[in-house]
Amino acid sequence: MASMLLGSFSLASSLTAGSYVTKASWYKTKKIQNEYLIIRHQQQHNLKHHYRCIEAASTSKERGRSYSVTAASGESFEYEHQDPRPKSLLVSTKDSLNTFFRFTRPVGMIATAINIISGSLLAVENLSDISPTFFIGLLKAMAVILPMHIYNVGLNTLTDFEIDKINKPNLPMASGEYSLGTVTIIVASSLILSFGLGWIVGSLPLLWVISFNFIFSSAYSMKLPLLRWKRSSVLTAINYIVDRGIMFNLGLFLHMKTYVFKRSTMYPRSLIFAIVFMSIFGIVIALFKDIPDIEGDEKFGIRTLAVCLGPKWVFWFCISLLEMAYGAAILFVGATSSFLWSKLITGLGHAFLASILWYHAKSVDVKSKEETFSFYILIWKMLMAECFILPFVR
């Protein structure tokens, strides 16, 4: 009996011990599995972080390629970056318009539009002339002239493609956003549109404006015998004087005076002043625009005044010329006006512009392409400001 009890006790002990061993093994196995899963999860997390770093550092040309990374466990993972959402029609249209806007050289386009308004206002004799008839004539002038501006910059883009890669690499054609075929279509379409609308409108002075602009801009840019005037600073200055200084302002004045208002031609002092002052601005722009482009011009053998005499000499010559023009405007135009409001606006306005020009000129490093280009844009802004003053010259 005792032996039976002892055997039973031994069997129970062995079963209990076996049970404890089994449970311990199970818990140990479970612990190992959990640790493995944690390590596995950590590796995947690190791998995803690594992919995000690769994606952030990749360039636009590298997008779409596959990346293969080998994990520490020896397994291979592949990641292929693709844009999950294609551009919407609205975004694509916005990008296209932005590219076209940059192609038109927006500073020049805006300055041309403001100059059209200013030249048209020179024909206004009293406030009653500011009527729907005036605005219709103004819109016709805009519709005819602005496409010709696009032709000008487009033709210059075609002929200066290699130079722009150095001087203006952000332009659509130089950067590869526009192809040669695209720019050619834009240039041809703009030219046809300008002359077509000019013919439909039927204003002879507007046809003069776009015809002279077409001839002089083509002579400035085209690589043909006796042309390519941009190679000479003197010919470039003559181009600006005749085209933008004389024909542009005279043509717009006659368009409003004879075609819109149907009046006899009389040439007021405001028109003479506008022609003279805009011609001076034309000379300054023709010379100054070459300062930021010295590197490309030298490489392609374009002997501008900035290349021959140096940027510093041309810079201060342009500043001096503009300052003298502002001084003459104050003394001989503003001070001699018979209207008090004209004296105040033209006198104080030109004094203010002269002080701004001198203030900014003193801090420009003429050896810096970025600073001289920024100042070149400022000169265009000064021209726009002058366009607002011109109609008040009486």
Backbone φ and ψ for 67, nearest 5 degrees, come out as -115, 135
pLDDT reported for residue 252? 95
Distances 76 to 41, 72, 82, 391 between C-alpha atoms, Å: 15, 9, 20, 74
User: What gap in Å lies between CA 239 and CA 41, rounded to an integer?
Assistant: 72
User: What gap in Å lies between CA 288 and CA 303, rounded to an integer?
Assistant: 14
In angstroms, how far is CA 3 from the centroid of its own chain? 106
E strand residue ranges, 192-290: none
pLDDT reported for residue 208? 95
pLDDT reported for residue 335? 83
Rounded (to 5) percent helix, strand, coil in the chain: 75, 5, 20
Which letter, b or e, does each residue of 12-31 get, where b requires 16 or more Cβ atoms within 10 Å of its Cβ? Answer: eeeeeeeeeeeeeeeeeeee
**Which H or E run includes 185?**
helix 180-201
pLDDT reported for residue 114? 94
**Token couple for 94:** 């916005």
pLDDT reported for residue 13? 41
Alpha-carbon dihedral of residues 263, 138, 345, 281, nearest 10 degrees?
-100
- Per-residue pLDDT tens digits of the chain, which is 394 residues long: 444 433 443 433 443 434 434 444 444 455 555 555 555 555 555 544 444 544 444 444 444 443 333 333 344 333 444 455 566 778 888 888 888 888 888 888 999 999 999 999 999 988 889 999 999 999 999 999 999 999 999 998 888 888 888 877 888 888 888 888 999 999 999 999 999 999 999 999 999 999 999 999 999 888 888 788 777 778 888 888 998 889 999 999 999 999 999 988 888 888 999 999 999 998 998 889 888 888 777 777 777 878 788 889 999 999 999 999 999 999 988 888 888 998 899 999 999 999 999 999 999 998 888 899 999 999 999 999 999 999 999 8
Residues written for the chain: 394
User: What gap in Å lies between CA 381 and CA 108, rounded to an integer?
Assistant: 10
Name, in order, each residue with C-beta under 8 angstroms of 22's C-beta and a sequence gap of 6 or more: none
User: What gap in Å lies between CA 139 and CA 238, rounded to an integer?
Assistant: 29
Q: First and final CA of the chain: distance in angstroms?
A: 139
User: What gap in Å lies between CA 299 and CA 166, rounded to an integer?
Assistant: 9
